[in-house]
């Protein structure tokens, strides 16, 4: 079965509109919206990863889709569990004055096909940080959305089209 697990941004509703639109665009895929725990992230995302583990059926190999903070959890989950692929919608790898070396290390270490859809005006995930990481890891693909910020805004449809095309292209 083709399964999507869609993780919202920080403190976002489980059925975040951008994630719902992506699920609707992928006819024939089963979509799960487990949400995330609320409040400050736990150390090492332990609470969030446990929550996600409980939401994914044993022996399934889903495609994880993470919006912003949800992507931070998704990429860490993919390092320790079997997943088909990961899609990161606006990955906040290094917000202003907030280095995130663990996020950078997770991107360098991931082994499954991973698409990063990033706006070229996203100050939370600057391209000058992402591009060298993508060059170091063949599992990563970076798709830049011109004119888009962290939330994609009027470029959301383009970001979703890119993500849906990548997911459809996966061998199942």
Q: Encode pLDDT of 6-22 as tens digits.
A: 999 998 888 999 999 99
Domain membership of residue 52 as a residue range: 3-169
* Ranges of the chain whose pLDDT falls below 70: 1, 171-172
For the chain, the residue count is 172
The structural domain count of the chain equals: 1
pLDDT for the residue 172: 54
CATH code of the domain in which 10 resides: 3.40.50.1820
pLDDT for the residue 11: 86
Q: Encode pLDDT of 122-134 as tens digits.
A: 999 999 999 999 9
pLDDT for the residue 46: 92
Q: ∠157-162-54 over CA atoms, to 5°?
A: 95
């Amino acid at each position: 079965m083709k399964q999507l697990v869609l993780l919202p941004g920080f403190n976002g509703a489980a059925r975040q509109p951008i994630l719902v639109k992506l699920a609707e665009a992928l006819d024939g895929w089963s979509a799960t919206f487990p949400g995330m725990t609320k409040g400050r992230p736990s150390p090492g995302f332990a609470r969030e990863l446990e929550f996600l583990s409980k939401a994914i059926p044993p022996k399934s190999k889903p495609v994880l889709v993470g919006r912003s903070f949800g992507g931070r959890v998704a990429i860490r989950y993919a390092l320790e569990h079997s997943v088909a692929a990961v899609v990161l919608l606006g990955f906040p790898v290094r917000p202003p004055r907030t280095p995130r070396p663990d996020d950078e290390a997770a991107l360098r270490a991931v082994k499954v096909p991973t698409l990063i859809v990033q706006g070229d005006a996203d100050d939370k995930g600057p391209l000058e940080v992402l591009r060298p990481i993508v060059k170091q890891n063949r599992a990563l693909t970076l798709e830049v959305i011109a004119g888009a910020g962290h939330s994609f805004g009027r470029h959301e449809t383009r970001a979703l089209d890119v993500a849906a095309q990548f997911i459809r292209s996966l061998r199942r």
